Amino acid sequence: MTALKTLQQFDTDTLPNLDTVVFGALEFFKDTELPALDLGTIKRPLVVGSGNAEAVGRLIFTESNAVFADEGTFEHALSVHEDIDAVIVVSASGSKHSVAIVQKAGGQESMPTFLITNNPKAPAAEYLKTGHVQVLPKVREPYTYNTSTYMGMLLARSGESPASIQTFIETEVVPKIPKSLDNFDAFFLIVPPKFDAMRSMFATKFDELFGPKLVGRVFTLEQAKHAKTVIPSESECFVSFGEENILFGNPNARIHIPLPKVAGPGAMMAIGYYVIGHIQKQLPPYFKDNIVQYTDEASKIFGQEITPIVE
């Protein structure tokens, strides 16, 4: 069964690991047309997102003259940056905090507000003008994984080839992943500086998949030089992406994961998530054992139904 077929058929008793979801998303995008994400005539957008959506916003608009904010800072950003000419909200679901953000941003006089989402029924879209909502395709996956959602946004902006990314993972990444990852209780990921915004995405995945059961830290090589390794641990694994790490960690606890020569954000996300998925696969099923109860509790917190599977 292909990874994509797995995503189309799984239930709460057969939740896939993150690495399977990465391949399923790449297989999906091979045959799915993605709309181009274009700023058009906008010169100075305020790009707003919550959690990993903020990081995706930074990656999508990294080469623009954008201002970036989250749900707690966007109103301040609007008040101090007088040259902002539009608000762009990034939200996979178009619900939860994005609704309040859109409502408040849309209340600004002469301030066009846009939504980039994967939900054709996004609640936040109700408060926006026709044509101000960009809906990107996605495939069903477990709640919080947000792999096809954010990957689609990145690929739509970068134009990277999903097929080439998957082939690279199969031929260059898979052979580098050992089957002894369960020997470690902490992981130190080192990413290239140009993907600094993606550090929070990887750290969030450790929070979601492992909670307090496993430590996950993510830095660039230069950041790692600043007192991040004061306290050593023989059970911490150092995983470097792209540039090989010869400075930190026990040499026997270093893993080097290659990146394509011209790696874009889609490739970096896919490769990073794939490796984290292999860590998940080799450890107890913390996420699978707890996600149903968590979504029940989260539904009460947000006052809306949140399901363990996002269709």
| Residue 31 CB coordination number (10 Å) | 9
Answer yes or no: do 119 and 235 share one domain. Answer: no
Q: What's this model's pTM, rounded to 2 decimal places?
A: 0.94
Answer yes or no: do 122 and 180 share one domain. Answer: no
User: How high does pLDDT run on average in the chain?
Assistant: 94
Q: How far is CA 248 from CA 6, 180, 184, 226, in A?
A: 38, 19, 16, 12
- Phi and psi torsions of 232, nearest 5°: -80, 160
Taking only the tens place, the pLDDT of each residue in 78-101 is 889 989 999 999 999 998 888 888
Tokens of 259: 């990146």
- Dihedral angle at the C-alpha atoms of 31, 157, 196, 48, nearest 10 degrees? -110
Taking only the tens place, the pLDDT of each residue in 204-256 is 999 999 999 999 999 999 999 999 999 999 999 999 999 999 999 999 999 99
Tokens of 88: 């762009």
Tokens of 295: 């979504």
Answer yes or no: do 167 and 76 share one domain. Answer: no
204 domain-assigned: yes
Number of domains in the chain: 2
Residue 130: band (very low, low, confident or very high) from pLDDT cuts 50, 70, 90: confident
3-state per-residue secondary structure call for 117-179: ECCCCCHHHHHCCCCCEEECCCCCEECCCCHHHHHHHHHHHHCCCHHHHHHHHHHHHHHHCCC
pLDDT of residue 39: 63
Answer yes or no: do 171 and 123 share one domain. Answer: no
- Going by C-alpha positions, the residue among 141, 181, 199 that lies closest to residue 22 is 141
Residue 110: band (very low, low, confident or very high) from pLDDT cuts 50, 70, 90: low
pLDDT of residue 36: 81
Q: Is pLDDT at 139 greater than 80 in this prediction? A: yes
Q: How far is CA 251 from CA 4, 86, 155, 289, in A?
A: 37, 49, 35, 34
- Going by C-alpha positions, the residue among 43, 34, 246, 287 that lies closest to residue 141 is 287
Answer yes or no: do 167 and 283 share one domain. Answer: yes
Cα–Cα distance measured from residue 191 to residue 221, given in angstroms and rounded to the nearest whole number: 7
pLDDT of residue 81: 92
pLDDT of residue 255: 98
Which residue range(s) make up the domain with 103? 45-135
CATH code for position 122: 3.40.50.10490
205 domain-assigned: yes
Taking only the tens place, the pLDDT of each residue in 23-55 is 999 999 999 999 887 666 888 999 999 889 999
185 domain-assigned: yes
Answer yes or no: do 118 and 207 share one domain. Answer: no
| Residue 288 CB coordination number (10 Å) | 18
Q: Is pLDDT at 107 greater than 80 in this prediction? A: no
Q: Write out the DSSP string of 201-226.
A: HHHHHHHHHHGGGSEEEEEEHHHHTT
Taking only the tens place, the pLDDT of each residue in 279-290 is 999 999 999 999
Answer yes or no: do 199 and 259 share one domain. Answer: yes
**Mean pLDDT value of segment 251-275:** 97
